[in-house]
Amino acid sequence: NLPGLPTLRGQAPLIIGHRGSSGTRPEHTLEAYRVAIEAGADFIEPDLVVTKDGVLVARHEPVIAVLSPDGKVQEATTDVAARPEFKDRVRTKTLDGQAITGYWAEDFTLAELKTMRAVERLPQLRGRAYDGRFEVPTLAEVIALVREVEARTGRKVGLYPETKHPTFVAQVAGRDISQLLIDTLKKEHFTDPARVFIQSFEVGNLRALKTRIMPAAGVNLPLVQLVSSPDEAPYDWTAAGDGRKYGALTTDAALRDIATYASGVGAYKRWIIDDQGRTTDFVSRAHRAGLLVHSWTFRNEPTYLLPAYANDPEAEMRQALRAGVDGLFTDFPATGARVVGQY
């Protein structure tokens, strides 16, 4: 317990290795997760997408390489675009209202994905020292890593999976990503509610997990409603469960609604800290609704810091902790663990 910090239950804030230690290794690789765990992360975060044969793998988005109109790689998390045997797999699909051309996880079998290698998504910022060295891991392999650490060290690191674009996945691949997640967690015997948070931006997805999918499977894991930028259009929380995402959230009533199906909110950090570096009332209002607040994304690079913290990532983290957040998603879990360790 850290009585100096106003967390919901007086517990120490969690350090969540965002996509692993993605500031120092290519995101969503076993190596990135291993480094995050060694750095002191309490949880590691796999974003989940689905393969053609219905296996959950860790990637930030279903699109694993985005191409520009002239066919050049714009952004990629794998080397798929450099592989001649996959040249005919380029597709244009609409994701979040945006037409994107590239290669998509759901168009490849797991065996095909396993022949690819991870590449750094932000090479201009983080370099390419580790490109080509690591595979795309399955969720089962991420769980095996956590188990191996537990067997070796006794440390019980948790998993913080995000179901990516459930409605899109259902439409383009005919798969229920949340059902696959619960099936995999059950199969791998990883259903301890103290060691799993399931997060999603999509409201209907979380409601389905809470009311249908988890009860049918006999598991009850805490859910976290992701809440994006305060600048986005507000979600109509009075609507029935659907594929929409929580955008701007300003009312206590909306927070109370989230509390009917979720244990916490995963809030973009501008909800917590304003442009002047002052804390807002968001955390205390969420806590009043009984919700944990886990905030994202804390990074060391100046380009990602809020304006008031242009050169001081640790000060930005400390300000969020002073506001009472119950956890920090960070690409640099070593920094996060050091900051939390100061309290």
Cβ atoms of 332 and 16 closer than 8 Å: no
Spatial separation of the C-alpha atoms in residues 240 and 198, rounded to whole Å: 20
Residue with smaller CB distance to ligand G3P, 47 or 79:
47
CB of 281 to ligand G3P, least distance (A): 22
Residue with smaller CB distance to Ca ion, 59 or 287:
59
189 is catalytic: no
Spatial separation of the C-alpha atoms in residues 193 and 222, rounded to whole Å: 6
* Residues constituting the chain: 343
Q: Which does 226 bind (CB under 5 to 8 A by kind): ligand G3P, Ca ion, none?
A: ligand G3P
Cβ atoms of 168 and 62 closer than 8 Å: yes
Contacting positions for Ca ion (CB under 5 A): 47, 162
CB of 118 to ligand G3P, least distance (A): 16
Residue with smaller CB distance to ligand G3P, 107 or 162:
162
Residues pairing with 56 in the sheet: 50
Residue with smaller CB distance to Ca ion, 27 or 86:
27
CB of 47 to ligand G3P, least distance (A): 5
CB of 17 to ligand G3P, least distance (A): 11
Contacting positions for ligand G3P (CB under 6 A): 18, 47, 162, 199, 226, 266, 296-297, 329
Catalytic option among 28, 60, 287, 294: 60
Residues pairing with 245 in the sheet: 202
User: Is the bond leading into 297 cis (omega within 30 degrees of zero)?
Assistant: yes
175 Cβ contact partners less than 8 Å away, ≥ 6 residues apart? 50, 54, 106, 169
294 is catalytic: no
Annotated catalytic residues are 18, 60
